[in-house]
Structure formats: structure tokens, C-alpha cells
């Protein structure tokens, strides 16, 4: 699909992030007046940039809700609190819903069923929080331009729009809906968001839930989170973090034999996936240097509990999808 110019999207010929911010702030103020706005802040690029824009425009009239479903990467909920509550002084409601999600997911092994449960539970938790707040009239969303054009053409199920119950009756505020992802990042950067937020790799809504294969257990979830953190740390040190499109670990629900401290062990493997892509419809495999692969393997084997084997997935998309579930 050809990219539309800023002019074609009604943004003018000489678009810059700084000018865009100025206009967006004025438009948000005009739309919202002294009303209150609610935002589901996941910590992903789009919702983070929308939050930063709204904080600039209307400050404490914005109420951000960060739902921690227990399936986030290591350090993510903490970063959301640090950036938005501590640094930007936002109204941030942090909900630790880990127990609620993991209880609902216990014993569920079908991937689509897992996605449905996570999606539904997310809406329920968010709606519960919304009902506790008085006088909210607006709902802000991180809809971006490809979300609109792709859902128009039926390319993919829409991630951002239409998920919340209609009876909440909000008017939508969508300040980045005419922008492509790279422009959203430029706006985020100009608003002072940290690079680790603005340039972060794609992360699925169901989070680590689709990387802990089969029925999610707390120990395997912890092992996915820890191994993912090691992979990210080593990719950053090795200069691959900004270069590789998406990289993560997976733990399947199988075990194999190993030896730990001279004794037989019966533990899980960790699978590493590192792919390059432009739009996620196709992906090629990153050729990670062997010394780095060995280093990551050694660290995972010595630092992550319950793991005795590390594998590298060499399968491109197609035939394989990027995520294992």
C-alpha cells in the first residue's frame, strides 16, 4: 500500500513534529474545553505519545489508567509509573490486575481462547476503573493512520477502536490518527519521551501470554520474562537493539533432560526469535553473531530458573508466523 503524503492527509506540505504538537495542543483544548479525558495507557508507543500530548494540552484533566495484566515485560509497568507519574506529574491510575488475569487464564491452552480472555478481561478492568471516576466525557485513543486505512480494507482486526463498551458513552479524542508510526515516534521524541519508549519494538497486546505456550503457568511466565530481559539487555549491549525489528523469547510447554550440578534435570527450553520486517506481514531472520548467541545462551542457562536448553528459531514468515501462538 503506497504511503500517503502529509499533504494528502491534510497535514500540510512542510510537516514537522514541533508544528504538529502546537496544532494538536490547540485542537485538543478546543475539543475538550474543561472536560475530563480518560486514556488506557499501555506504555506502547501510540498510547504513550497520546498521553504526553494530552498532558501538554490539558494536564490534570487527563486520567490515565495503566492496567498491568501480569503479562508485560520486565520493567515495563515501572517505566510507565516513572515517566508519567513521577516525571510528567500525570493523573495515573495504576491497576495491578495480575491475579485476576492469571486466575482467568489458568488451564486455558488454546491460543485464540487465551487472546479472547485477555482482551475481555482488559476491557472489564478498564471499565471498572472508568466507572469509579466521575464526570468523564472523553476517551482518548492511540489510533494511528494505518489502523484506519487497514481496518477500512479489512486487512486486520482493529486493535484500538471499538473495544470498549458503548454504554460508557464517551466522545473520542484521537490526536495521532492522521500519522504513520514513524511520525508518531517523532512527535514522542519532540515531547521528551525516553528513547526506550519511543523506539520500542512491537509488542503484542496479549503480551508474554502468547509466548508462554499452552496453558500459562506462573513459573514458565517468570522464565519467559527473565529470559526476554536478558535477550534485550544483550541485544542493547551488542548494538542490535535499534537494528533488529522484533526479538523475544518463547517457552513451549515441553521439557527435556539436562545436567545441573552433576544431577539429572528435567526442565524447559527457551527459544530465541529475532526477526526483521517492515510491516509484520513477512519477516526474515536476523543473523545474530555466534559469540553473542553463546553469551545469551550462557546467561539464560545460568540465570533463569527451570530452564536447561536454549534454541534459535530460524524460520521466516511465511511459513512461520512471528509469534509462536
| Contacting residues toward ligand XMP, per CB under 6 A | 115, 159, 202, 204-206, 246, 280, 317, 321-323
Q: Which is nearer to ligand XMP, 137 or 317 (CB)?
A: 317
Q: How far is the CB of 274 from ligand XMP (least distance, A)?
A: 12
Q: How far is the CB of 7 from ligand XMP (least distance, A)?
A: 30
Q: How far is the CB of 247 from ligand XMP (least distance, A)?
A: 11
Q: Based on C-alpha coordinates, what's the Rg of the chain?
A: 21
Q: Which is nearer to ligand XMP, 228 or 267 (CB)?
A: 228
Q: Examine residue 318 and say whether the peptide bond preceding it is cis (omega within 30 degrees of 0).
A: yes
Contact of 186 with 153, CB cutoff 8 Å? no
Contact of 200 with 58, CB cutoff 8 Å? no
| Neighbour order of strands in the sheet with 36-40 | 91-96, 62-68, 36-40, 136-140, 171-173
Q: How far is the CB of 159 from ligand XMP (least distance, A)?
A: 5
Q: Which is nearer to ligand XMP, 205 or 258 (CB)?
A: 205
**Could you please report the per-residue DSSP string of 269-303?**
EEEEEEEE-SSSSSBEE----HHHHHHHHHHHHHH
Q: Which is nearer to ligand XMP, 38 or 322 (CB)?
A: 322
Q: Which is nearer to ligand XMP, 175 or 204 (CB)?
A: 204
What distance lies between CA 278 and its chain's CA centroid? Answer: 17
260: burial class by Cβ within 10 Å (0-12, 13-18, 19+)?
A: exposed
Q: How far is the CB of 224 from ligand XMP (least distance, A)?
A: 14
Contacts of residue 189, defined as CB under 8 A and 6 or more positions apart, other chains included, come to 17, 195, 198
Q: How far is the CB of 56 from ligand XMP (least distance, A)?
A: 27
Q: Which is nearer to ligand XMP, 118 or 178 (CB)?
A: 118
Q: Which residue do the cell numbers 486487512 mark?
A: 155
Q: Containing H/E element for 263?
A: strand 263-276
Q: How far is the CB of 245 from ligand XMP (least distance, A)?
A: 8
Q: Which is nearer to ligand XMP, 60 or 116 (CB)?
A: 116
Amino acid at each position: 500500500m503506497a504511503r500517503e503524503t502529509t499533504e494528502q492527509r491534510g497535514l500540510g506540505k512542510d510537516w514537522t513534529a514541533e508544528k504538529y504538537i502546537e496544532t494538536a495542543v490547540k485542537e485538543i483544548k478546543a475539543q475538550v474545553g474543561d472536560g475530563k479525558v480518560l486514556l488506557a495507557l499501555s506504555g506502547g508507543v501510540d498510547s504513550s505519545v497520546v498521553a504526553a500530548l494530552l498532558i501538554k494540552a490539558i494536564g490534570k484533566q487527563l486520567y490515565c489508567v495503566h492496567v498491568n495484566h501480569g503479562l508485560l515485560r520486565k520493567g515495563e509497568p515501572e517505566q510507565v509509573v516513572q515517566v508519567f507519574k513521577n516525571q510528567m506529574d500525570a493523573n495515573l491510575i495504576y491497576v495491578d490486575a495480575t491475579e485476576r488475569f492469571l486466575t482467568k487464564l489458568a488451564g486455558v491452552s488454546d491460543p485464540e481462547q487465551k487472546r479472547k480472555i485477555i482482551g475481555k478481561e482488559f476491557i472489564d478492568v478498564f471499565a471498572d476503573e472508568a466507572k469509579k471516576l466521575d464526570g468523564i466525557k472523553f476517551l482518548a485513543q492511540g489510533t494511528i493512520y494505518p489502523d484506519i486505512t487497514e481496518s477500512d480494507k479489512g486487512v486486520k482486526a482493529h486493535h484500538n477502536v471499538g473495544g470498549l463498551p458503548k454504554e460508557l458513552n464517551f466522545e473520542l479524542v484521537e490526536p495521532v490518527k492522521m500519522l504513520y508510526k514513524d511520525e508518531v515516534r517523532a512527535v514522542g521524541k519532540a515531547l521528551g519521551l525516553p528513547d526506550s519508549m519511543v523506539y520500542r519494538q512491537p509488542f503484542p497486546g496479549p503480551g508474554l501470554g502468547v509466548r508462554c505456550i499452552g496453558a500459562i503457568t506462573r513459573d514458565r511466565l517468570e522464565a519467559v520474562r527473565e529470559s526476554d530481559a536478558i535477550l534485550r539487555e544483550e541485544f542493547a549491549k551488542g548494538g542490535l537493539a535499534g537494528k533488529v525489528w522484533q526479538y523475544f523469547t518463547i517457552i513451549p510447554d515441553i521439557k527435556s533432560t539436562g545436567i545441573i550440578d552433576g544431577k539429572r534435570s528435567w526442565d524447559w527450553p527457551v527459544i530465541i526469535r529475532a526477526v526483521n520486517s517492515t510491516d509484520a506481514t513477512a519477516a526474515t531472520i536476523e543473523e545474530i553473531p555466534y559469540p553473542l548467541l553463546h553469551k545469551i545462551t550462557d546467561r539464560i542457562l545460568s540465570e533463569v530458573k527451570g530452564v536447561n536448553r536454549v534454541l534459535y528459531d530460524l524460520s521466516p514468515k511465511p511459513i512461520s508466523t512471528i509469534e509462536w501462538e
